[in-house]
């Protein structure tokens, strides 16, 4: 939940990413090409807090999520988790994998239709070699914690509603007692009223289990509602980072300003758009391909403030305050002396 940053978490970083990159080998126009899905991303998440990640479709949110939990191997960069280095270019050990769990968007396809609810939730524990008694006890506890009646243990996924199925997925993620849960569009497929219930459940569970979340969504209102800090991604890179309140109240990066200008309401109970952002301010709303991203600043082809330097030099993140950074030449020393106009609110 959005609160004063000084009051949230323990202040200790649970997860740190340093210059993490992930490329995919793809075919483009009959040729082999490299698609830069995540490029040199550095981020940190404080213990017990929620980092929201926003950005248009294809900007690399899910790829980053998969890198964090070990479903994708990286090409470059480092990851520190709970004070220890995790090698992200190699397969992880079961002990490492156990500490980070992921909840996906589609509550139905993430569950085996032929397994009962208790079998689905208990499966990761079975893989870890837990005894039947320990599994039964743990499954009963997490089912209670996510608000699923005990009688549902013998039910099958098709007998549950979408919201209940997502509770099963959350319970399954919690069964292994992870420290970090990565939620990738985890409430996006749910009706608004159910979405609000699941968001409240996530907030309660965070407190009870001391969980740290990375929360990904295209819905900017939902991200603001649940996040302590927010990172904005554009074409595989983090362009701005800050506390949810500061970032939404006073966006610095022209891309964040563009993204937020299209949010119709700040009430999470209201619906928000599902379409890509569009703005009269943007020079060109077409997103460049991550196979051949623009030189220098990747956002410059759409930026209403683009300067000469933007095509030549990729802007390094500028630290504006302890928890606020922006990667934009409007704020960097490299642009000092250039004719920089103040960014309109
Ligand atoms: N397995 C893959 N192979 C090749 N390209 C991929 C693969 N997965 C993702 N990509 C590409 O990487 C880029 C980032 O994709 P990603 O799914 O991470 O974006 P996203 O921000 O999660 O988008 P969305 O909001 O639509 O879920 C896209 O250009 C996508 O086409
Ligand atoms: Mg995605």
Atom of ligand 1 nearest to the CA of 60: 18
Of residues 8 and 79, more confidently modeled: 79
Q: Print burial letters for 201-220: b (CB count within 10 Å at least 16), e (below 16).
A: bbeebbeebebbbbbbbbbb
Distance 37 CA to ligand 1 centre (A): 6
- Whether residue 293 has its Cβ less than 6 Å from ligand 1: no
Per-residue pLDDT of 9-65, as tens digits, reads 557 999 999 999 999 999 988 899 999 999 999 999 999 999 999 999 999 999 999
Question: Is the torsion defined by CA of 122, 128, 131, 137 positive or negative?
Answer: negative
Q: Which atom of ligand 1 is nearest to the CA of 291?
A: 29
Work out the average pLDDT over 296-314: 96
pLDDT tens, position by position, 126-152: 988 899 999 999 999 999 999 999 999
Sign of CA dihedral 313, 314, 319, 320: positive
Atom of ligand 1 nearest to the CA of 56: 25
Distance 58 CA to ligand 2 centre (A): 7
- CA–CA separation, 211 and 203 (whole Å): 9
| Structure-token pair, residue 191 | 């009706």
Q: Kindly list the structural domains of the chain, giving each domain's residue range(s) and its CATH number in brackets, ordered by start.
A: 5-99+178-252 (3.40.50.300)
The CB of 26 under 6 Å from ligand 1? The reply is: yes
Mean pLDDT of the chain: 88
| φ, ψ for residue 34, nearest 5 deg | -105, 130
> For residues 301 and 128, what is the distance between their CA atoms, to the nearest angstrom?
49
**Residue keyed to tokens 């990904």:** 216
């Amino acid at each position: 939940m959005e609160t004063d940053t000084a009051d949230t978490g323990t202040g200790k970083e649970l997860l740190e990413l340093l210059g993490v990159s992930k490329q995919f080998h793809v075919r483009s126009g009959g040729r082999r090409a490299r698609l830069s899905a995540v490029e040199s991303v550095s981020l940190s998440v404080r213990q017990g807090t929620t980092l929201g990640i926003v950005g248009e479709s294809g900007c690399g949110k899910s790829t980053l999520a998969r890198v964090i939990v070990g479903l994708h191997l990286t090409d470059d960069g480092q990851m520190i988790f709970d004070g220890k280095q995790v090698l992200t270019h190699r397969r992880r050990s079961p002990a490492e994998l156990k500490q980070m769990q992921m909840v996906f968007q589609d509550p139905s396809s993430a569950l085996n239709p032929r397994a009962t609810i208790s079998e689905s939730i208990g499966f990761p524990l079975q893989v870890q070699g837990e005894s039947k008694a320990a599994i039964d006890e743990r499954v009963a506890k997490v089912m209670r914690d996510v608000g699923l009646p005990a009688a549902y243990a013998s039910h099958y996924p098709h007998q549950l509603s979408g919201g209940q199925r997502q509770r099963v997925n959350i319970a399954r993620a919690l069964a292994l007692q992870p420290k970090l849960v990565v939620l990738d569009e985890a409430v996006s497929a749910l009706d608004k009223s159910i979405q609000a219930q699941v968001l409240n459940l996530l907030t309660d569970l965070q407190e009870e289990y001391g969980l740290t979340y990375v929360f990904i969504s295209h819905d900017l209102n939902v991200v603001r509602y649940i996040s302590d800090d927010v990172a904005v991604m554009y074409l595989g890179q983090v362009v701005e980072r800050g506390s949810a309140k500061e970032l939404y109240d006073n966006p610095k990066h022209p891309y964040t300003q563009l993204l937020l200008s299209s949010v119709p309401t700040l009430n999470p109970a209201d619906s928000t758009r599902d379409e890509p952002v569009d703005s009269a301010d943007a020079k060109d709303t077409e997103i460049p391909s991550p196979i051949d991203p623009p030189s220098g600043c990747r956002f410059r082809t759409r930026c209403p403030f683009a300067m000469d330097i933007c095509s030549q030099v990729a802007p390094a993140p500028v630290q504006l305050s302890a928890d606020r950074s922006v990667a934009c030449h409007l704020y960097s020393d490299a642009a000092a002396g250039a004719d920089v106009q103040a960014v309109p609110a």
